[in-house]
Amino acid sequence: DTGVSQNPRHKITKRGQNVTFRCDPISEHNRLYWYRQTLGQGPEFLTYFQNEAQLEKSRLLSDRFSAERPKGSFSTLEIQRTEQGDSAMYLCASSLGRNQPQHFGDGTRLSIL
């Protein structure tokens, strides 16, 4: 199965540390999206890429968050100086094109001690 792959599946870190997550989209998909999901809520949009270009960022994406997709393939999401409120599931999705169905990975669960 060549679906969306996310690593690590679970990250535990202390408050104030930096963390980085990786997402590998479905190979032919040029769109890549990041969402955040907290317990009992639906996913909330963070940002998306068309190839290597980051085209939209939610206001949820504070200055401590940065995302890259350097070669238009995999993407990384980095959170600097983590806070308790950053604890959530970070989901990555990809799609074939504009407004096409988005396919999600199984996410990275971030726990802040």
* Closer Cβ to other proteins, 17 or 51, answer by number: 51
Burial class (CB in 10 A: 0-12, 13-18, 19+), 72: middle
83 lies in the site for other proteins, by CB under 8 A: no
Spatial CA neighbour of 107 closest among 26, 44, 17, 22: 22
14 lies in the site for other proteins, by CB under 8 A: no
Residue among 31, 36, 65, 82 that touches other proteins (CB under 8 A): 31
Q: Is 51 left (phi over 0), alpha (psi -120 to 50) or beta?
A: left
Q: Which residues are at the interface with other proteins (CB under 8 A)?
A: 4, 6, 31, 33, 40-45, 48, 55-56, 58, 91, 98-99, 101-107, 109
